[in-house]
A = this chain, B = another copy of it.
Amino acid sequence: MSKDKGITVKKEEDMPEWYSQVILKSDLADYAPVKGCYIIRPRGYAIWQAIQDNFNQRLRLHKVDNAYFPLFIPESFFHKEAEHAKGFSPEVAWLDREVTGEGERLAIRPTSETIMYDAYSKWIRSHRDLPLKINQWANVVRWETQATKLFLRSREFLWQEGHCVYETAEECEKETWLWLAEYKKLAEEVLAMPVVMGKKTDNEKFAGAVYTTTIESLMPDGKALQCGTSHNLGQGFAKSFDIKFLGREEKWEVPFQNSWGFSTRLIGGLVMTHSDDKGLVVPPKVALNKIVIIPILFEKTKEQVLHKCIELQEQLEEYNPILDSSEDKKPGWKYSEYEMKGIPLRIELGPRDLEAGHVMIARRDTGEKETVKLDQLATKIPAILQQMQDDMLEKAKKRMFDNIIETDNFAEMQKSIEAGKMALVPFCNEDECEGLIKEKTAGASSRCIPLGNETPKDGAKCIHCEKEAKVNIYFARSY
């Protein structure tokens, strides 16, 4: 292995330390000289780009356009929507007044509702201007005071934020859920990360929203990760920002809005979900280099083997393959190195393989090896990559659903959460009770009321207070 050796702790034994080591040693990210910030290195950024490419297709399909709004937001904008101001005030970073001079303070955007809706109020005049559907890819800043963690919690992060305006409440509601469904597809189809989806309690909703919907994934350490949220904003922001339109009846009406976002946090979830004690494992769809070619070199046959490897590298260009032909490191060292870095497929080629006209292909996720004829590579490689992508999702799904239990017994719920599970339980849906459950379960919070399974059985009682249960809900500790 390299000078700093491989991952020195086991995932099961010390997940936080394992997590940092996997990210740092696979070159996904690095710490920055500014506290709470980090650098996304090329192997990490490639994952973000794969996510962007995929999501841009979904945006296009649903006729959402990309745009870009300023980084700076005047202070007064935050105060136009009271709940919103309260929700974000503690973590806003401001510009130095020496720079901005007199007048209002300028915030660095923690989210863009306010600056976007101010513009919307100028752009929207008629029902013909609706729906207005805009997405922004941007950096946002929230001055975290809690301990930060690579990808999962940081003072600056990258995200997308969609902000749509509709004529009717129905359309708005429908698309609030549409975007959540698209998030679920993205997480599962691209990141091979299974999620449950549903509605947040009032307690956990976005500041200023009527309600918030969420996709949540259960990590191997038993903590849930919120992976994306879609908010139905109703007419609250529209009223605060004076967005109105001349309706079909020639009267002024107030439109309905939603906003929805996911961030680079997804990459953290991806790492935790799939990686192992050898290092990074990522699904092929998001890997910067999908293949590493390792020649088995002996003095006599070196030239032919290298020649074939270079040929392979060219032939497989669409997979952006690495060819590691360095002679000062043994193949075994290289295997470990590229396993740590999470390259999905390893192709080994030695003189005997060359003679037999085949290569050895090893999968990063399972370690399975397979001999493949050279003339079958063009069909076998995409097939193996697709199989790997599918298997990773299935494996993660099984692990997640094996760790979700359904119960109406509070003691069992406590035990399960302690054991790193997520619990689906009947619940009164009261703030106070939610707080008490958190206290009594070492920090489990409500995650979501599952879509399609909102309503408890007739006569069901709240798992904790034993009053009438109003909803079914997931509880888990969380990131």
- Which A residues have a C-beta under 8 Å from some C-beta of B? 30, 32-34, 37-42, 44-46, 48-49, 65-74, 77, 92-100, 105-106, 108, 115, 118-119, 122-123, 128, 134, 138-139, 141, 143, 155-156, 158, 288, 326
Contacts and interface: CB of A to CB of B under 8 A. Distances in A.
A120 to B, nearest CB: 11
A167 B265 CA distance: 36
A30 B48 CA distance: 29
B30 A122 contact: yes
A66 B49 contact: yes
A131 B395 CA distance: 39
Contacts of A66: 42, 45-46, 49
B134 A42 contact: yes
Given A32-B70, A37-B71, A93-B100, 13 more contacts: A30-B122, A30-B123, A33-B77, A33-B115, A39-B67, A40-B68, A42-B134, A48-B68, A71-B141, A72-B155, A93-B96, A94-B99, A95-B96
A71 B110 CA distance: 13
12 contacts: A30-B123, A32-B115, A34-B106, A37-B70, A37-B71, A40-B68, A42-B67, A94-B95, A96-B96, A96-B105, A108-B108, A139-B139
Contacts of A122: 30
A315 to B, nearest CB: 17
Contacts of A34: 70, 72-74, 106
Contact of A65 (B67, B96, B128, B288): B288
Given A33-B118, A115-B32, A115-B33, A68 B45 contact: yes
Contacts of A68: 39-40, 45, 48, 158
Kindly name the residue among A46, A48, A65 whose own CB sees the greatest number of chain B CB atoms within 10 A: A65
Contacts of A118: 33
Contacts of A115: 32-33
Task: Report whether over half of chain A's contact residues are helix, strand or loop; otherwise say mixed.
Answer: mixed
Given A33-B77, A65-B46, A326-B128, A156 B95 contact: no
A115 B326 CA distance: 31
Contacts of A40: 67-69
A346 to B, nearest CB: 20
B156 A70 contact: yes
Contacts of A46: 65-66
A125 to B, nearest CB: 8
A46 B60 CA distance: 12
A37 B123 CA distance: 18
B119 A72 contact: no
A424 B435 CA distance: 75
A196 B304 CA distance: 47
Nearest to A73: B34
B42 A65 contact: yes
Contacts of A77: 33
A243 B88 CA distance: 40
Contacts of A156: 70-72
A72 B37 CA distance: 8
A151 to B, nearest CB: 12
B119 A30 contact: yes
